[in-house]
Amino acid sequence: MTKPSILTDTFGRTHNYLRISLTERCNLRCTYCMPADGIKLSPKKHIMTYEEIYTIAKEFVSIGVTKIRLTGGEPLVRKDAARIIEKLASLPVELTLTTNGVIVDKFIEHFKKCKIKTLNISLDSLDTAKNKEITRRSYFEKVYQNIILLVKEGFLVKVNCVLMKGFNDDEIIDFINISKELPIQVRFIEFMPFDGNQWNMDKLVPLQDILSEVHSNFKKEEIIKLEDAANDTTKSYQIKGYEGTFAIISSVTNPFCDGCNRIRLTANGQVKNCLFSSKESDLLTPLRSGKSITSIIQKTILSKSKIRNGMDTLDKFSQSDMHNNRSMITIGG
């Protein structure tokens, strides 16, 4: 009988996808990600160095990780981001990243050199004023043009849009329509609760509401349901004749925990087995002491709950207190 992987939990899920936050810093101030008053940054000495990021990533790869996504904050604002990307690209993994797209144009040739083919870009409104309201900055045109540039340069671009009722839920069809000519995937993400983001159920735009809007604007025969991979977080669709696709990530109303293969490493070296769990395991301190981190990783994986840190119903989830968890910017998207 084959011995279970160190990355396999008690429910048979194997975690071969590592998301690494490079920094808690960001050049935007998105309302759903960062509290209005900002955050207290970890001291620089508590942030992983590029060598430590590589060492930890290499350990994960040695025990079965096959995909690494770099996140933040905004990963590209880190001064040694290019060096980190190049170092991680030497590992036998699929390497990608999530970015707000503001300075992504400066890294295009570096991405190509490092064989990065897919990028996730955050964009929550196609309206300049609303985009400024949610990001607290004025970068809409730059980001939109960078999305077009990335497509022209041959990258697969996934546009992440966090939907909030009464704010940008009237843009669902507008977002889908930008996939008519652009071969991108627009991904609608249900608004999720994190410390300081003023979440409540009234702001949620659930999966069924999104689909209702789609069916109200397109004929049934025009809406094509695409096949989702085993570990996909998305339910994917395409409008007949459109170059691109759209998808829905329903973490709140229709969680995909059964197929979860993700584990997160924060910028200050804490590993989290679930986005909604406040529990963390310190990898950085033992690493700096010259100790093995493998047993800590295994223990973290084995302690993972079956569904959303034990919040297995929508009622439990809506009544949960997320103040014990981090704000999204310090977890890594």
Ordered domains of the chain (ranges, CATH): 17-331 (3.20.20.70)
The model's pTM is: 0.91
SS (H, E, C) 207-261: HHHHHHHHHHHCCHHHEEECCCCCCCCCEEEEECCCCCEEEEECCCCCCCHHHCC
**Would you tell me how many other CB atoms lie within 10 Å of the CB of residue 79?**
8
Q: Quick one: tokens of 97?
A: 């990243």
Q: Quick one: tokens of 144?
A: 């939109």
Per-residue pLDDT of the chain (333 residues; tens, 9 = 90+): 445 689 999 999 999 999 999 999 888 777 777 766 667 788 999 999 999 999 999 999 999 999 999 998 899 999 999 999 999 999 999 999 999 999 999 999 999 999 999 999 999 999 999 999 888 888 999 999 999 999 999 999 999 999 999 999 999 999 999 999 999 999 999 887 655 545 667 788 999 999 999 999 999 999 999 999 888 889 999 999 999 999 999 888 877 889 999 999 999 999 999 988 878 999 999 999 999 999 999 999 999 999 876 676 767 666 665 545 555 556 665
